[in-house]
Amino acid sequence: MPMTFIKDRRGSAAVEFAFIAPIMLLMYFGLAEMTQAMMAGNRAQHVASTVGDLVSQTPAIDQQSLDDVWLVADAIMKPFPTGSLSMRITSVKADAAGTASLGSLHKARGSALPELTAVPTLPAGLLPANETILIAESSYTYTSPIQQTLPHPVTFKAIYYLKPRKSTEVLWVN
């Protein structure tokens, strides 16, 4: 009888499955979590791009119009929650000597990107003399609903530099 028990292979597939199933499930849910995080990061980049693009198409913008742009950004992030989404749009202009200063437009929404009070550091050669650029930024903190393979929140940031399209500078209108 002991020899037949050793040679009996019935149930070996179930034992193998019991060893492999937890690893496969962890890989599956990890892949799902990573995919969701990548989608959130892509949408955060799209928010910065779209906010900058919309603002660059107008010669002047007021609070109501900017609130509408923020709503567009919220719509882009759907179905992800927008509570951790921060956005900032900043106008930077250079005088004839090439000295950069903040333009009249420097607004932010959310706590991760507060309004600027000084000129941000710009890449070399980006802002020639007598020119203006818009800087559109977004920051989004993704928290996984499963928190198995991504136990800590991940923050995605994006920054875009754009030229105003219909004027030399996008002005802030009170």
The predicted-structure confidence for 40-61, as pLDDT tens digits, reads as follows 999 999 999 999 999 999 999 9
Residue 3 placed within a domain: no
Note the pLDDT of residue 1: 52
Average pLDDT over residues 94-111: 94
Note the pLDDT of residue 2: 60
Residue 52 placed within a domain: yes
Confidence of residue 30 (pLDDT cuts 50, 70, 90): confident
Average pLDDT over residues 22-46: 93
Residue 5 placed within a domain: no
**Does residue 5 carry a pLDDT above 70?**
no
Number of domains in the chain: 1
Residue 78 placed within a domain: yes
Higher-scoring residue by pLDDT: 148, 115: 115
Beta bridge partners of 86: 139
- Helix, coil or strand: residue 90: strand
Residue 81 placed within a domain: yes
Confidence of residue 3 (pLDDT cuts 50, 70, 90): low
Residue-wise pLDDT for 154-166, tens only, equals: 999 999 999 999 9
Q: Rounded to two decimals, what is the model's pTM?
A: 0.84
Residue 159 phi/psi, 5-degree rounding, is: -140, 135
Residue 1 placed within a domain: no
C-alpha closest to that of 59 among 174, 172, 170: 170
Average pLDDT over residues 71-84: 96
Note the pLDDT of residue 172: 95
Q: Quickly list DSSP for 14-78.
A: HHHHHHHHHHHHHHHHHHHHHHHHHHHHHHHHHHHHHHHHHHHT-SEE-HHHHHHHHHHHHHHHT
Residue 113 placed within a domain: yes
Q: Which two tokens stand for residue 16?
A: 């193998």
Q: State how far the alpha carbon of 21 is from the alpha carbons of 11, 16, 24, 29, 151, in Å.
A: 15, 8, 5, 12, 21
**Does residue 95 carry a pLDDT above 60?**
yes
CB contact at 8 A, 164 and 53:
no
Residue 6 placed within a domain: no
Range of the domain at 70: 11-172
Q: Which two tokens stand for residue 37?
A: 């995080």
